[in-house]
């Protein structure tokens, strides 16, 4: 028997194309066939909103590899517009339909890699099948949306779902001069992150004229006079030329399920750490599979391009006897919304609460680079950690600049099992145009370490809002800042007057101190602690109070 391996790959984009290229690098002998239902392979799906919005004017720039290039460079038999209809595990064959000729044929494999991705979730709303209700997954979808945009400049569009794709599409449409109503069922946008971290994004949407409707869904869609009339759950009616439906994706598992492959509790294909399904000759990767979460081992669906690409490579390695493992995902992701970016890694606070895990949190608002060098802007960074051992559990950041760099450092720290004191010790790049001598990551480490050591006991907006009669709110900002707006019932003693007015503070009640961002509150706490006055500092300061209240009463 020949040693040549016949490999079939289902799906020719992120996971599938990575697997194909890796296989060829490992074996000149392998016979590789890649079946792709669509017209294109290896296209930049993540770039599609930016083509619609005009940032990437040339459509061809989205074609990372064409079938011809893939054939020429990697000697891969690429069959586009060919859908794998079924898998026969006994005979190790797949049945394929050529979608142009409708011919069906079978082909056998020694190893099969499934990378079929995830499909947009479509709610069962009356009228949702209208051709004016569009989704964005393939280049053909993108072309349809672009055509609708090109034809209907100045029209109203509705985007349903304020997740990654919904927000990117909202920005793209606004950039094209379309007025957008953004409808989101949850009471916050960008639900992977915690609500208060999304408050600056609400401002961005408002500034750019987006009509955001939170806690709302569509109950009916009717086609009237070349446009759609949408009835919302609050009985409001909205007219739109078209609707972009982006309320999430679900793994495409029909093929796997019909072949008797195990589907996990999340709805994704079950795989082991080698990306192998319960059939040792069949591997599965990408958006279609469930993976363990780094921080608790729970199975999760995290449909992101990085994991899909890495898993494709890992499946290829294992087919060729290289023991390569995919350990876990941690949900490191970033999204641009007009002038801001929001990014996160690890567990969010709401996830930690849901899991009943012990955690503490701090917020800092440092400058993206030395504030005396032009162009710096503030980053709001939230760090979640275990208050007993300091282990970092999650991080989120929002800002105009430098958010990606900080979150990437924190993602690596989480993956390495580091603690907040390791962040304080971390040596990072610094010159004024790029950072600060105390980088935002160091700074978050200092603040979290102070919270753990008790040098700066922290309190949170939730505690400020439910302060008991044994506590009082102390605003240590300047008189002018206090007069411009403070937290109801707060007493004002500016930090620089605190030492002289310390006798005004009771020793039998706890001061919940706050300033604008948390630094003066910390200094005030140091003074009060050394004067035996019980106190805690509102981490993130008045700014976080404002974010919290804006996000909770949008």
Sequential DSSP letters for 466-511: T--TTEEEEE-S-HHHHHH---TT-EE--HHHHTTTGGGS-SSSEE
Tell the smallest beta-carbon distance from residue 286 to ligand FAD (Å). Answer: 2
Phi-psi category of residue 260: left, alpha or beta, with phi > 0 → left and psi -120 to 50 → alpha: left
- Of the CA atoms within 13 Å of residue 131, those in its CB half-sphere come to 4
Asked if 53 is part of the footprint of ligand FAD (rule: CB under 6 A), the reply reads no
Q: Between 45 and 376, whose beta carbon lies closer to ligand FAD?
A: 45
Tell the smallest beta-carbon distance from residue 25 to ligand FAD (Å). Answer: 18
> Which of 303, 331, 440, 445 is the binder for ligand FAD (CB under 6 A)?
303
Tell the smallest beta-carbon distance from residue 291 to ligand FAD (Å). Answer: 12
How far from 427 is each of 332, 379, 422, 423, 501, CA to CA, in Å?
A: 22, 19, 10, 9, 40
* Contact (Cβ atoms closer than 8 angstroms) between residue 243 and residue 256: no
Nearest to 543 by CA among 359, 445, 347, 398: 398
> Which of 33, 65, 115, 277 is the binder for ligand FAD (CB under 6 A)?
115
Nearest to 524 by CA among 532, 535, 510, 516: 535
Q: Between 344 and 524, whose beta carbon lies closer to ligand FAD?
A: 344
> Which of 22, 23, 35, 331 is the binder for ligand FAD (CB under 6 A)?
35
Q: Between 30 and 256, whose beta carbon lies closer to ligand FAD?
A: 256
Q: How far apart are CA 276 and CA 283, in angstroms?
A: 4
Asked if 215 is part of the footprint of ligand FAD (rule: CB under 6 A), the reply reads no
| Residue 261 structure tokens | 């492959």
* Contact (Cβ atoms closer than 8 angstroms) between residue 305 and residue 329: no
**Subset of residues 238 to 257 that bind ligand FAD, contact rule: CB under 6 A:** 252, 255
3-state secondary structure of 15: helix
Near ligand FAD by CB under 6 A, which window of 283-291, 318-326, 360-368, 477-485? 283-291
Contact partners, residue 252, CB within 8 Å, separation at least 6: 116, 117, 118, 119, 287, 288
Near ligand FAD by CB under 6 A, which window of 8-16, 441-449, 453-461, 465-473? 8-16
Tell the smallest beta-carbon distance from residue 48 to ligand FAD (Å). Answer: 5
Q: Between 407 and 464, whose beta carbon lies closer to ligand FAD?
A: 407
Asked if 49 is part of the footprint of ligand FAD (rule: CB under 6 A), the reply reads yes
Asked if 14 is part of the footprint of ligand FAD (rule: CB under 6 A), the reply reads yes
Q: How far apart are CA 212 and CA 198, in angstroms?
A: 13
| Residue 424 structure tokens | 């304080």
Tell the smallest beta-carbon distance from residue 131 to ligand FAD (Å). Answer: 20
For residues 153 to 172, the per-residue mask of contacts with ligand FAD, x marking binding by CB under 6 A and - elsewhere, is ------------x-------
> Which of 10, 134, 403, 533 is the binder for ligand FAD (CB under 6 A)?
10
Asked if 46 is part of the footprint of ligand FAD (rule: CB under 6 A), the reply reads yes
Asked if 287 is part of the footprint of ligand FAD (rule: CB under 6 A), the reply reads yes
Asked if 306 is part of the footprint of ligand FAD (rule: CB under 6 A), the reply reads yes
Asked if 304 is part of the footprint of ligand FAD (rule: CB under 6 A), the reply reads yes
Near ligand FAD by CB under 6 A, which window of 302-310, 459-467, 531-539, 545-553? 302-310
Contact partners, residue 1, CB within 8 Å, separation at least 6: none
Q: Between 165 and 300, whose beta carbon lies closer to ligand FAD?
A: 165
* Contact (Cβ atoms closer than 8 angstroms) between residue 314 and residue 307: no
* Contact (Cβ atoms closer than 8 angstroms) between residue 222 and residue 88: no
Angle between helices 14-26 and 67-74 (to 10 degrees): 20
* Contact (Cβ atoms closer than 8 angstroms) between residue 330 and residue 415: yes
Asked if 290 is part of the footprint of ligand FAD (rule: CB under 6 A), the reply reads no
> What does residue 352 show for φ and ψ, rounded to 5 degrees?
-60, -40
Q: Which residue's CB atom is positioned nearest to ligand FAD?
A: 286
Q: Between 315 and 476, whose beta carbon lies closer to ligand FAD?
A: 315
Q: How far apart are CA 258 and CA 262, in angstroms?
A: 10
Size of the site for ligand FAD (CB under 6 A): 32
Q: How far apart are CA 229 and CA 406, in angstroms?
A: 44
Q: Which H/E stretch holds residue 182?
A: strand 179-183
Phi-psi category of residue 54: left, alpha or beta, with phi > 0 → left and psi -120 to 50 → alpha: left
**Subset of residues 121 to 150 that bind ligand FAD, contact rule: CB under 6 A:** 136-137
Near ligand FAD by CB under 6 A, which window of 33-41, 322-330, 395-403, 478-486? 33-41
Q: Between 119 and 481, whose beta carbon lies closer to ligand FAD?
A: 119
Tell the smallest beta-carbon distance from residue 144 to ligand FAD (Å). Answer: 13
**Choosing from 46, 335, 515, 525, which is the catalytic residue?**
46
| Residue 450 structure tokens | 């102070």
> Which of 9, 149, 159, 308 is the binder for ligand FAD (CB under 6 A)?
308
Is 46 tagged catalytic? yes
Near ligand FAD by CB under 6 A, which window of 41-49, 185-193, 394-402, 421-429? 41-49
**Interacting residues with ligand FAD (CB under 6 A):** 10-11, 13-16, 35-38, 45-46, 48-49, 83-84, 115-117, 136-137, 165, 252, 255, 286-288, 303-306, 308
Active site residues: 46
């Amino acid at each position: 028997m020949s040693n040549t391996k016949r490999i079939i790959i289902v799906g020719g984009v992120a996971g599938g194309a990575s697997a194909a290229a890796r296989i060829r690098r490992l074996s000149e002998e392998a016979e590789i066939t890649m079946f792709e239902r669509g017209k294109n392979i290896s296209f930049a799906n993540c770039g599609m909103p930016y083509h619609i919005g005009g940032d990437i004017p040339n459509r061809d720039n989205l074609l990372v590899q064409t079938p011809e290039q893939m054939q020429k460079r990697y000697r891969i038999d690429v069959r586009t517009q060919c859908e794998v209809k079924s898998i026969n595990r006994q005979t190790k064959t797949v049945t394929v339909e050529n979608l142009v000729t409708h011919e069906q044929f079978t082909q056998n494999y020694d190893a099969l890699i499934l990378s079929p991705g995830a499909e947009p979730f479509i709610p069962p709303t009356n009228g949702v099948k209208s051709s004016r209700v569009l989704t964005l997954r393939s280049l053909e979808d993108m072309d349809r949306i672009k055509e609708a945009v090109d034809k209907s400049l100045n029209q109203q569009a509705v985007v349903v779902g304020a997740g990654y794709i919904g927000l990117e599409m909202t920005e793209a449409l606004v950039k094209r001069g379309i007025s957008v109503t953004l409808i989101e069922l949850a009471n916050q946008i960008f639900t992977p992150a915690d609500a208060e971290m999304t408050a600056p994004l609400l401002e961005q949407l408002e500034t750019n004229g987006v009509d955001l409707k939170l806690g709302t869904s569509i109950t009916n869609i009717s086609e009237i006079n070349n446009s759609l009339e949408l009835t919302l759950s609050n009985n409001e009616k909205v007219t739109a030329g078209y609707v972009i439906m982006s309320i999430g994706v679900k793994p495409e598992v029909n093929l796997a399920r019909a072949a008797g492959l195990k589907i996990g509790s999340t709805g994704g294909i079950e795989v082991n750490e080698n990306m192998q399904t319960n059939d040792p000759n069949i591997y599965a990767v990408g958006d279609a599979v469930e993976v363990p979460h780094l921080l608790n081992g729970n199975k999760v669906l995290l449909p992101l391009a990085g994991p899909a690409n890495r898993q494709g490579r890992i499946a290829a390695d294992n087919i060729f006897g290289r023991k390569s493992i995919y350990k876990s995902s941690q949900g490191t992701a970033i999204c641009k919304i007009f002038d801001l970016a929001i990014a996160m890694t690890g567990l969010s606070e709401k996830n930690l609460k849901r899991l009943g895990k012990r955690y503490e949190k701090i917020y800092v608002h440092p400058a993206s680079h030395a504030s005396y060098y032009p162009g710096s802007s503030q980053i709001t960074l939230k760090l979640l950690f275990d208050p007993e051992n300091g282990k970092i559990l999650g991080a989120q950041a929002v800002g105009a600049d430098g958010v990606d760099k900080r979150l990437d450092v924190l993602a690596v720290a989480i993956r390495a099992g580091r603690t907040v004191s390791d962040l304080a010790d971390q040596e990072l790049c610094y010159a004024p145009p790029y950072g600060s001598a105390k980088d935002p990551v160091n700074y978050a480490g200092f603040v979290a370490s102070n919270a753990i050591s008790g040098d700066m006991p922290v309190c949170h907006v939730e505690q400020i809002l439910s302060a008991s009669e044994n506590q009082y709110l102390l605003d240590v900002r300047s008189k002018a800042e206090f007069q411009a707006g403070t937290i109801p019932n707060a007493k004002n003693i500016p930090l620089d007057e605190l030492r002289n007015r310390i006798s005004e503070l009771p020793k039998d009640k706890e001061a919940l101190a706050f300033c604008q961002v948390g630094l003066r509150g910390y200094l005030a706490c140091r003074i009060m602690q050394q004067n035996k006055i019980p106190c805690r500092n509102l981490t993130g300061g008045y700014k976080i109070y404002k974010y919290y209240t804006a996000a909770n009463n949008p």
